[in-house]
């Protein structure tokens, strides 16, 4: 039997401080792994959508709507610039509505809406398998990637730290004879 097999097969004397530290380490490991998986999933979706083919779209009209800010704990309302547009894929015409961006200021959204007047040509990315699934190709599409990668890296470090704490605690415990 190797030292590792002996170490993990041998019963240990319970120690209150190491067992609570091990519990915290397991919780940190589980939580950081969950957040890491979510960040990787979201990043993968953004990157895979960036590889979707593009079609020329034409803005039918713009409108400003409101919704709750997803990043606000107070339920702050933001103004959203929405585009209704049409595009063509393989000779078939599609219509869609997408939120382009949002801001606290209605005046700012009104000003931006003039950039996307009726008849404006836009770039539309569409899913090759489901052409009705689209997103608009603009500067904010890849904006979350650095944040997601940073959070994922932090979670990975937390998971490695928690795992190493669990292993080191197990190694440092005296063996029962």
User: Are residues 115 and 65 part of one domain?
Assistant: yes
Query: pLDDT, tens digit, for every residue of 77-96?
Result: 888 888 899 999 999 999 99
Residue 139 has pLDDT above 50, yes or no: no
User: Are residues 78 and 37 part of one domain?
Assistant: no
- What pLDDT does 40 receive? 77
User: Are residues 121 and 57 part of one domain?
Assistant: yes
Region 22-31: mean pLDDT is 79
Lowest mean pLDDT segment, chosen from 17-21, 67-71, 161-165: 17-21
User: Are residues 101 and 86 part of one domain?
Assistant: yes
Which strands form 54-68's sheet, in the order they lie side by side?
92-103, 77-89, 54-68, 121-126, 134-136
User: Are residues 120 and 77 part of one domain?
Assistant: yes
| Domain of residue 89, residue span | 53-126
Q: Are 98 and 85 in contact (CB under 8 A)?
A: yes
First to last CA, the chain: 17
User: Are residues 70 and 105 part of one domain?
Assistant: yes
User: Are residues 110 and 66 part of one domain?
Assistant: yes
CA quadruple 123, 127, 131, 136: dihedral sign: negative
Backbone dihedral angles phi then psi of residue 114, each to the nearest 5 degrees: -70, -25
CA quadruple 22, 24, 25, 27: dihedral sign: positive
Q: Spell out the alpha helix ranges (H) of the chain.
A: 3-9, 16-50, 106-113, 145-172
Q: Are 52 and 128 in contact (CB under 8 A)?
A: yes
Distance between CA 49 and CA 142 in Å, rounded? 10
User: Are residues 98 and 59 part of one domain?
Assistant: yes
Distance between CA 120 and CA 57 in Å, rounded? 8
Closest listed residue to residue 98, CA positions, set 131, 128, 65, 73: 65
In a domain, 143, yes or no: no
In a domain, 131, yes or no: no
Regarding predicted confidence, which is higher, 124 or 22?
Answer: 124
User: Are residues 122 and 62 part of one domain?
Assistant: yes
Backbone dihedral angles phi then psi of residue 141, each to the nearest 5 degrees: -60, -40
- What pLDDT does 140 receive? 47
Residue written as tokens 């489901």? 130
User: Are residues 64 and 109 part of one domain?
Assistant: yes
In a domain, 133, yes or no: no
Q: Count up the domains in the chain and report the number.
A: 2
Q: Give the pLDDT band of residue 60 (cuts 50, 70, 90).
A: very high
In a domain, 90, yes or no: yes
In a domain, 118, yes or no: yes
């Amino acid at each position: 039997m190797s030292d590792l097999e002996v170490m993990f097969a041998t019963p240990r004397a319970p120690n209150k401080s190491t067992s609570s530290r091990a519990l915290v380490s397991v919780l940190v490991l589980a939580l950081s792994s969950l957040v890491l998986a979510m960040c990787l999933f979201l990043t993968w979706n953004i990157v895979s959508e960036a590889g979707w083919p593009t079609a020329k779209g034409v803005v039918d009209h713009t409108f400003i709507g409101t919704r709750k800010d997803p990043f606000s704990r107070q339920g702050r309302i933001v103004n959203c610039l929405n585009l209704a547009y049409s595009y063509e894929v393989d000779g078939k015409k599609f219509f869609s509505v997408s939120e382009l961006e949002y801001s606290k200021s209605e005046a700012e959204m009104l000003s931006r809406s003039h950039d996307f007047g009726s008849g404006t040509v836009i770039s539309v990315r569409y899913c090759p398998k489901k052409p009705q699934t689209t997103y608009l190709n603009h500067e904010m599409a890849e904006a979350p990637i650095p944040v997601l990668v940073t959070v994922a890296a932090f979670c990975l470090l937390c998971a490695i730290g928690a795992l190493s704490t669990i292993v080191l605690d197990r190694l440092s415990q005296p063996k029962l004879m």
